[in-house]
Structures are given as C-alpha cells and as structure tokens.
Amino acid sequence: MNTKVQTVYMPDLSTKYWQSLFDARVPAGFPSPAADYEEDKLDLNELLIKHPVATFFVRAIGDSMLGAGIHCGDLLIVDRSLEPRDRSVVIAVVNGELTVKRIRIRKKKITLEPENESYHTQEINENMEFEVWGVVTGVIHKL
C-alpha cells in the first residue's frame, strides 16, 4: 500500500510534560534513576516542535516510506514554515489526495519518490493538482 496520510492532528501546546533526562549512555536497558545522572528536564513539545504555530501531526498509513523509517501507523511531525528542499520528506496533496514522499526538485522538474522499491516515482506535471503542505521533521512510532 502506498503511504498516505490517514489523520491530521494539531499539537496541544498548552500542556507541559516534563520528564527527567539522564546523562547516561545506555546501549540497552534503562538508566539508573540515581540523581547523579540526572542532567535536566525534557519537554517533548520543546524538543519536537520548533515552530509551534506552523506545526501539525499526521498519521501515516501504508509502506511506501519504510526506507525513510516511516511505518504504517506512525505519527509524523510536519512543519509548514519550512521550505521543502531537494530530498526533503514532505506531506503533499496530489490530485486531492494527501501523501508522504521524498520530494526531488531538479531544474523545472518535480518528482515524489517512495522509499520502497515496490513503488514507483511520480512525476508532477502542470495538469496535476499539487501542493506541498509541509516538511516532515520527525517520526514517532512504537517499537
């Protein structure tokens, strides 16, 4: 299945959820809760959202972006204030359908490329409805 956007969410910036950030490098396992390792407090809104007014979340469905680390059901963090550059992962509208793909911008040619060899690149032409909604800046998925 081609990776598409299932749901669009706005972030709730009114809440702060501080968690302890430990300065222990742990290859596997959980850091010791000893106070000696506590470095700071971490707010996930602050870490993941650089431009709050321009940020939204989408839930991806499909498997065309597996090579970019985007799995079916993942939440994608999208920033509308960023200008898409060549090779950015973007949320785009193509002929009325939301999709997530890697954009390629070469001279006057734009293509949307999947990150799964089972899918083909889509060339954007002047007869298509096309708009970039934003640049994907992060992925949240459960292990």
Q: Which of the residues 101, 107, 108, 109 is marked catalytic?
A: 101
Q: Is residue 4 among the annotated active site residues?
A: no
**Catalytic residue check, 64:** yes
Q: What DSSP string describes 26-73? A: -SSS-----GGGEEEEEEHHHHH-SSGGGEEEEEEESSTTGGGT--TT
Catalytic residue among 4, 64, 81, 109: 64
Task: Quote the CA–CA distance of 113 and 89 in Å, as a whole number.
Answer: 9
Tell me the catalytic residues: 64, 101
